[in-house]
Structure 1
Amino acid sequence: MTLSSDDIRHLADKKITEAQLNEQLACFANGFPFLSLVASATAGNGIRVVSDEELAQYIERWNTYLTRDAHILKFVPASGAASRMFKNLFAFLSSPSDSPSTDFERTFFDQIDSFAFFGTLDAACRTNEGMGVHELIAAGRYKAVVANLLEARGMDYGELPKGLLLFHGSADGPRTALEEHLVEGALYARNQAGRVNIHLTVSPEHQALFEQLVRRVVPAYESRYGVRYDISFSTQQPSTDTVAVDLQNQPFREADGTILFRPGGHGALIGNLDAMDADVVFIKNIDNVVPDRMKPVTVTYKQLLAGILVDLHDRISNYVRLIDSGACSPEQVDEIDRFVRETLCVRNPSMPTELKDRIAYLRRKLMRPLRVCGMVKNTGEPGGGPFFAVDPDGTISLQILESSQINMSDPNARHLFEQGTHFNPCDIVCALRDPYGHKYHLPDFVDRNTGFITQKSKDGRELKALELPGLWNGAMSDWNTVFVEVPIETFNPVKTVNDLLRPEHRN
């Protein structure tokens, strides 16, 4: 396409090149190929199920690792706005009815004093309306209560990110989602020196609010848990934004004529993760937290995943060093081959037969970032599913796939998708260094052909948006991946405000 001088200046401001723009436009024109599935990963076939004895051993393995001088990090994607949490309440505000008319609305108001934010909401209502929450409800002023919760004149929860919302009660008072991550970090990610490193990816407009909350609450948590926190932030880089197009695949232009670029989805965060200088990284979404009474099971299985990770990383390091020593016997090559096939679940239908070629292939597969992913049994919650899929190089490996990456018109692919028994709740522990301690360059391991095209609208006009390969999907496609079954109790996301009324979110 021909760009105007204004277009070129706009691209420069976004730090996006003309070549990148054309590459993105080609994605809309050509689409993305579906991945070829071989099988669903199930318990005992791609998903490890550990015994109680193994569980204890791996937890001990992790606790032993923590005595090393290692850099451990909790990486928390926290830029998501909470507006979708309150979709039902926004609908109530704009509805003609002045009273609750849906089950969701009735549940919200019937149990309103069970929310951790109730005290703050009650105070906001008294300041702005001259009456508390229950008085407003008794007077039939339901919308005034919701307005004080969602709008700027009250708590502004309709615009804030989830990390800043009060989620749970505790012995010391209500806690935000961010505070629950501080507590988690102290329980399973403190290093030998008692430091807890937490990195949050946030929206630029909210970073100052996160920093303000950290300054206010961190001293109390440091005192309570005997740790020192190192909290850092990053934002999604403008250069990872992607172009939007109209229904004819032409750049979508705003009213002033500028080309619309949108955030490229959580897959853009692979650059943020790549910037982390850490040995072991825990990745967990901001809204998947629980109050203290539920934390023991979370801590146990985080330690399990981390113990498996460091054990595997040590084994990989030993094998790579053995290969590099030049003293790898045919029997040892067979052992490494079994490890790659059976433990890392990487299969090669065209395995080289010459010894030197086998060794070169095995080393190449070992020299990759490593992740251990918790998998919970599928209970209907959304989440990427675990599959054996064909990689671009023809090998077969474990992948976390979204339904949009699967050709549902293919009866076999649909059958494998429907056969799935587990999904990934973004419960991942990663090793980002090679056997010699050097950081991997994570963008080198992204499958660029695994993006998404979604339908959106702006100002009443339909558009198509491009999302980059998902952070735990295509962005980690060429990683070594191990799936481990963890209990459903470790997965407690908050997708709607009423999810905070579930038993697992009660104090």
Structure 2
Amino acid sequence: MEENITAKNSTTKNSLIETYGFNNFDFQQIEEKGISLDTISNQLSIFRNKIPKITLQSAATLQNGIWNLSEEEFKEKVAFFDERKSNLKLEKFVPASGAASRMFQFLNEFLNNFDIEIDTINGYINKNQATSLTVFLTGIEKFPFFEAINQKLAETFPDFHSWTTDKKNYYFIKFLIGSENFDFANKPKGILPFHQYKNHIATPIEEHLNESACYASSNGISNLHFTVSEEHQKEFEEILSEVKSKIEADNNTKINISFSYQNEKTDTLAVDFQNNPFRDEDNKLVFRPGGHGALIENLDNIDADIIFIKNIDNVIQNHIETITLYKKALAGILMQLQNQIFTYLKNIDHNLVAENDLEKIVSFAKNKLNIVISNNFEKATFHDKITYIKEIFNKPIRVCGMVKNENEPGGGPFWIRNTNEDISLQIIESSQIDLQDEEQLQIFKSATHFNPVDIVCGVKNYNGKKINLHHFIDEKSGFIVDKNKNGANYKAYELPGLWNGAMANWLTVFVEVPLITFSPVKTVNDLLKPTHQPQ
């Protein structure tokens, strides 16, 4: 066996040398990252052959792939969860490694193009039709960081209070995002001031702690996991040291915090526009982080019965009772589905399933799990039918909240058809679709719902064993994106997205939840929305 692996590695290595001119330094660089040569070869193949576009069958809608529950039904799911959670380990998983640069992009552009010596801000706004800047300046006093920056300006410039409004606003923005001052554009979103309360200002970290204690706790214990950049972990820990003990006391809950980083071995090789390895000024191979799809590795390392996934910037001020209700309800749905799935699988193991039981099992698969049963199922032998049922049921499961589509950028729920003509329910991004195809474009536009990344996962099988999540990735559903390094353009490969291709072969259920559960902060102006302002 080892001889076969060695021979295969040697063949791959020779191919990389002959086709792309790899040298010993390249192989050393690859080895130091922990990336296999097969992985490098496969990535180069993806660039050459391109990633096939997803074929949309139709948009998922209410009663056609998306559950529509009444308020009473949601409360019943919550009760089911609360009654049974004591036997389970719960964990909240928060991707939080991204910097806040996009939050402040329009302010960066303003500073780069505005000359305080000759321009007026009003003239700049009119010239550039910069509505984002207008909104920012109109609501400037409502931002939770307004007082801190104004105080810093007054300390730095003795004549600050006599300045014109234009000059104050310019320096406010300069201090807000400038690297020599508050440097918010280069910090992770998780540590930024988001919400102004009566006696303090809260960061997203604090809000996630509050949420975790409210809905991701069992027997007085809550587990909260952040994926972060290693260089920012200390800043997270400093905020946690300030707020954690109070939140634990207020909720009578111990919160266990853990961190992980994106593993270097999930980095991907960059190429030029001739699909040859892209190199830097020192002739070294250029690698880039594999995108949020790389976090399937981090998720796979979580040992919990139920995992709640929510993005770092999707927190709101107040209304935590509402958030808690719908999160618990999604968990209750997952638990009910798991209970039925596990019962069927255990009955199969104990030879308690007969031919006349199959119709009920298939009906459950179709109506509750959105599984499109193979056309060959009816013709199969009883033994093959049982094998098929075990195969389609013995998977990780996710229950995903979906909100009504209000033209937010991002993915949504669709029925898709793969190359084998199999139909399944997926979360799809616009970049995965051929938008030049008029039929596909119209299906995409017909989406009624949007993916807010409000996911509850079950990652253990019916025997209580952890499922290997790597086995359920659609490796053909990554992304090729254009990038620039020091003025040179190149292409990069992003792994199948965490809630897209990385979960493509999971059991998937979509449930409509209210819009109030989704209030991300994609730009700084989102902090002016009612869900981020004091009541």
Q: TM-score, normalised by structure 1?
A: 0.96
Query: Counterparts of 1:120 and 1:351 in 2: how far apart (Å)?
Result: 67
Partner of 1:321: 346
Query: Counterparts of 2:244 and 2:214 in 1: how far apart (Å)?
Result: 15
Q: Which of 245, 248, 251 is the matching residue for 1:222?
A: 248
Q: Do residues 150 (structure 1) and 168 (structure 2) align?
A: no
Quick one: structure 1 residues 235 and 392, their matched pair in 2 at CA, closer, same or farther if it must change by over 3 Å? farther
Q: Which of 495, 498, 502 is the matching residue for 2:525?
A: 498
Quick one: structure 1 residues 300 and 250, their matched pair in 2 at CA, closer, same or farther if it must change by over 3 Å? same
Q: Do residues 301 (structure 1) and 326 (structure 2) align?
A: yes
Deviation for aligned residue 1:390? 2.7
User: In percent, how many aligned pairs have the same letter?
Assistant: 42
Deviation for aligned residue 1:52? 2.4
Deviation for aligned residue 1:131? 6.1
Query: Counterparts of 1:413 and 1:106 in 2: how far apart (Å)?
Result: 37
Query: Counterparts of 1:129 and 1:492 in 2: how far apart (Å)?
Result: 37
Partner of 1:289: 315
Deviation for aligned residue 1:214? 1.1
Q: Do residues 250 (structure 1) and 276 (structure 2) align?
A: yes
Which residue type is aligned with residue 92 of structure 1? Answer: F
Q: Which of 140, 165, 170 is the matching residue for 2:192?
A: 165
Which residue type is aligned with residue 210 of structure 2? Answer: V
Q: Which of 93, 98, 103 is the matching residue for 1:75?
A: 93
Deviation for aligned residue 1:358? 1.2
Which residue type is aligned with residue 89 of structure 2? Answer: H
**Contact 2:75/2:325 (<8 A) preserved:** no
Query: Counterparts of 2:95 and 2:307 in 1: how far apart (Å)?
Result: 13
Which structure's CA Rg is the greater one?
Answer: 2
The number of residue pairs the alignment matches comes to 503
Q: Do residues 14 (structure 1) and 33 (structure 2) align?
A: yes
Q: Do residues 202 (structure 1) and 221 (structure 2) align?
A: no
Q: Do residues 43 (structure 1) and 71 (structure 2) align?
A: no
SS at match of 2:510: strand
Query: Counterparts of 1:220 and 1:214 in 2: how far apart (Å)?
Result: 10
**Contact 2:480/2:492 (<8 A) preserved:** yes
- Matching of residues 20-35 of structure 1 within 5 Å: 20-35=39-54
**Contact 2:266/2:290 (<8 A) preserved:** yes
Q: Do residues 115 (structure 1) and 133 (structure 2) align?
A: no
Partner of 1:350: 375
Deviation for aligned residue 1:290? 0.2
Query: Counterparts of 1:366 and 1:338 in 2: how far apart (Å)?
Result: 13
SS at match of 1:186: helix
**Contact 1:125/1:154 (<8 A) preserved:** no
**Contact 2:78/2:332 (<8 A) preserved:** yes
Which residue type is aligned with residue 7 of structure 1? Answer: D
SS at match of 1:247: coil
Query: Counterparts of 1:83 and 1:398 in 2: how far apart (Å)?
Result: 33
Partner of 2:73: 54
Quick one: structure 1 residues 171 and 70, their matched pair in 2 at CA, closer, same or farther if it must change by over 3 Å? farther
Q: Do residues 190 (structure 1) and 213 (structure 2) align?
A: no
Deviation for aligned residue 1:104? 2.2
Which residue type is aligned with residue 91 of structure 1? Answer: E
Query: Counterparts of 1:105 and 1:408 in 2: how far apart (Å)?
Result: 31
Q: Which of 419, 425, 432 is the matching residue for 2:459?
A: 432
**Contact 2:93/2:226 (<8 A) preserved:** yes
Q: Which of 391, 396, 404 is the matching residue for 2:431?
A: 404
Partner of 2:395: 368
Q: Which of 281, 289, 314 is the matching residue for 1:263?
A: 289
Q: CA RMSD in A?
A: 1.6
Q: Which of 395, 403, 406 is the matching residue for 2:422?
A: 395
SS at match of 1:32: coil
Deviation for aligned residue 1:135? 5.7
**Structure 1: gaps (5+ residues):** none
Partner of 1:232: 258
Q: Deviations over 1:320-339 (max 9, x none)?
A: 11111112012211111111
Deviation for aligned residue 1:394? 4.7
**Contact 1:24/1:242 (<8 A) preserved:** yes
**Contact 1:376/1:423 (<8 A) preserved:** yes
- What stretches of structure 1 move > 6 A for 4+ residues in a row? none
Query: Counterparts of 2:532 and 2:159 in 1: how far apart (Å)?
Result: 28
Query: Counterparts of 2:59 and 2:132 in 1: how far apart (Å)?
Result: 35
Q: Deviations over 1:368-390 (max 9, x none)?
A: 00000011111100221111123
Query: Counterparts of 1:113 and 1:416 in 2: how far apart (Å)?
Result: 43
Partner of 1:278: 304
**Contact 1:32/1:451 (<8 A) preserved:** yes
Query: Counterparts of 1:64 and 1:391 in 2: how far apart (Å)?
Result: 40
**Contact 2:410/2:430 (<8 A) preserved:** no
Which residue type is aligned with residue 479 of structure 1? Answer: W
Quick one: structure 1 residues 264 and 296, their matched pair in 2 at CA, closer, same or farther if it must change by over 3 Å? same
- Matching of residues 469-488 of structure 1 within 5 Å: 469-488=496-515
Query: Counterparts of 1:130 and 1:180 in 2: how far apart (Å)?
Result: 36
Q: Deviations over 1:384-422 (max 9, x none)?
A: 111112356653221111122222233332222122111
**Contact 1:375/1:483 (<8 A) preserved:** yes
